[in-house]
Amino acid sequence: MKKSKLKKLCAVTLALTLGMSVLVGCGGSANKTTAKAQVLTYNLNADPKTLDPALNASVDGAIVVSNTFEGLCKLDEKDKAIAGVAEKWDVSKDGTVYTFHLRDSKWSNGDTVKAGDFEYAWKRVLNPTTAAEYAYQMSYLKNANEYNQGKVVKETGVKATADDVGVKAIDDKTLEVTLAEPCSYFLELTAFPCYFPVNKALVENNSEWALKAETYISNGPFKMTDYKIKDQIVLEKNENYYGKDNVKLDKVNMKLVTEETSAWASYKTGDFDMVDVVPNSETQTALKDGTATAFKALGTYFYVLNLDKDKVSAIDPEAAKVLSDSRVRKALNLAVDRPSIVENITKGGQIPAHSFVAEGIPGPDGKDFAQKEYFSPKANIEEAKKLLAEAGYPDGKGFPTLIATYNPESGNGDIAQALQDMWKNNLGITVELQSQEWKVFQKTRTDGKYEIGRHAWLGDYVDPMTFLEMWQSTSGLNVAKYKSPEYDKLLQGAKVEQDATKRIDLMHKAEDVLMEDMPIVPLYYYVSVKGVKSYVKDVRVSPLGFIYFDKAYIEGK
């Protein structure tokens, strides 16, 4: 991919940088761009379920949203908060009250972005009728949980309303935010999509605003000018963006080709400048010849086991019975040989998992949070068979047939088949595979209409809590329907603990509980392999899964 040894060395060095975002290309400046129209064609490799910041819960949708919207803060190359729509802020001495002062900024239709747009957007996420999966991410706000869950306010003893939530527009340019407890990463949270503002005047009167380009009004570096489902999303420079002079691309054509082999072929012929996924069969060769680049990703690929007895019983009562047994769940986990998956299927340098929280999060002592090995990445067949026998199914006899559901994109089918073979050969049990289109599969998983499901998680911010809190009993992302009072108590304690060492210890104890109950089967920690042409400069690929085009440009195409 690179045109010189220097460029190749720079790309490799950046790709191996841990815990940081990566800039594609080795610099260059605006005065080096040509007068030719700056157009980048990128394949998203997905057809997003939704592009509404309040409702999106997938990385593909977040990539679109993060280039079209901007929050109070945005993230720098190290994924730390810097000024966004808020040009400055004040924090109370106790760390619970933030006063954000907004800069002069506009929506893509020319309307002024107001503090009230943020207040409306945040309360919209929390409104129970919105049914936002990420409502739990707003729980740091005072009385957010009470409003979202229909509980009473402690101070008044009266059922909470939106007015009780700790966010208030003081005037058009001042937003006051009150937290339930101090949060060391709250500024980073304000750069996350569910905290983005929406145009109140538009959204409250149009429930389908996010489905059409003409009504997709945003406030980020790009605006949407075309949206054809299963075809493309066209983003153009937003001339109303306050930082438009620093945006070099005129247009980003986001293609929605979900068949990665076809997308890769288009990339090889030059029809695509960048592709989000490299086929597993091409990964090793592409990494060697420079047509692909590996980026650090803070994420875990795993399978989730449905513990909702009622939902699973509607599919198969016997499946509900075995999945409710922690010995069975542990057996399913121990029967998996992770090194063989990353060496023979994914082939992109992924790391076999030994915990749920991914590697790459340093603690206050400088050590990686994921330092504990809860299970060997290699299959422990003897222990797995022992546990299955203790559950009443020696050598798999009498064990019901389970169904594992997945979406076929990005080599997921190959991994599903490998798991199917391991569970058959190592435990003597039969697992049928069910493939569903990505949009359909997301709903199936969210609705709990599955037995075993493919899953993956990229951190929303650089802290173990982003992995652990999704399994709290009140989390909208808890598709396992895992419920543990002990787990909830430990995480809640970690959220209010101000001593960094004690806080980390509480989260370690919470993961101990999670891995003992095993509602999930972690497989590997992510490495993000993407195809990026050598003439594509300064695209930022974050370990959190976001791809930012606001500083990107084309040079030498």
User: Is the confidence at residue 173, as pLDDT, over 60?
Assistant: yes
Residue in this structure with the two tokens 């603990």, named with its chain if needed: 497
The domain tally of the chain equals 2
Q: What is the CATH number of the domain that holds 491?
A: 3.10.105.10
Q: Do 209 and 182 share a domain, yes or no?
A: yes
User: Is the confidence at residue 16, as pLDDT, over 80?
Assistant: no
Per-residue pLDDT at 409: 87
Amino acid letter, residue 147: Y
Name the pLDDT band for 35 (thresholds 50, 70, 90): low
Over range 524-550, report the average pLDDT.
97
Q: 466 φ, ψ to 5°?
A: -65, -25
User: Is the confidence at residue 301, as pLDDT, over 80?
Assistant: yes
Q: Do 264 and 381 share a domain, yes or no?
A: no
Q: Do 265 and 341 share a domain, yes or no?
A: no
Q: Say what percent of the chain tops pLDDT 70.
A: 94
Residue 282 belongs to a domain: no
Residue range(s) defining the domain that contains residue 158: 5-273+533-554
Q: What is the pTM of this model?
A: 0.88
Contacts of 276-279 spanning 24+ positions with Cβ under 8 A: 276/42, 276/43, 276/44, 276/45, 276/46, 276/60, 276/63, 276/530, 276/547, 277/43, 277/45, 277/409, 277/410, 277/529, 277/530, 278/348, 278/529, 278/530, 278/531, 279/411
For residue 457, list its beta bridge partners.
300
For residue 91, list its beta bridge partners.
98
Residue 269 belongs to a domain: yes
Per-residue pLDDT at 2: 26
Residue 278 belongs to a domain: no
Residue 363 belongs to a domain: yes
Q: Do 543 and 432 share a domain, yes or no?
A: no
Name the pLDDT band for 26 (thresholds 50, 70, 90): very low
Residue 285 belongs to a domain: no
Q: Do 139 and 266 share a domain, yes or no?
A: yes
Over range 304-332, report the average pLDDT.
98
Q: Do 261 and 114 share a domain, yes or no?
A: yes
User: Is the confidence at residue 222, as pLDDT, over 90?
Assistant: yes
Q: Using an 8 Å Cβ cutoff, are 46 and 256 in contact?
A: yes
Q: Using an 8 Å Cβ cutoff, are 105 and 118 in contact?
A: no
Residue 14 belongs to a domain: yes
Q: Do 141 and 167 share a domain, yes or no?
A: yes
User: Is the confidence at residue 177, as pLDDT, over 90?
Assistant: yes
Nearest to 147 by CA among 165, 135, 131, 132: 165
Q: Do 512 and 544 share a domain, yes or no?
A: no
Q: Do 407 and 520 share a domain, yes or no?
A: yes
Amino acid letter, residue 406: Y
Name the pLDDT band for 206 (thresholds 50, 70, 90): very high
User: Is the confidence at residue 517, as pLDDT, over 80?
Assistant: yes
Q: How far is CA 244 from CA 73, 221, 240, 473, in A?
A: 17, 6, 7, 43
Q: Using an 8 Å Cβ cutoff, are 136 and 479 in contact?
A: no
Residues 328-348 have pLDDT tens digits of: 999 999 999 999 999 999 999
> What is the full DSSP assignment across 487-503?
HHHHHHHHHH---HHHH
User: Is the confidence at residue 38, as pLDDT, over 90?
Assistant: yes
Name the pLDDT band for 36 (thresholds 50, 70, 90): confident
Q: Do 122 and 188 share a domain, yes or no?
A: yes
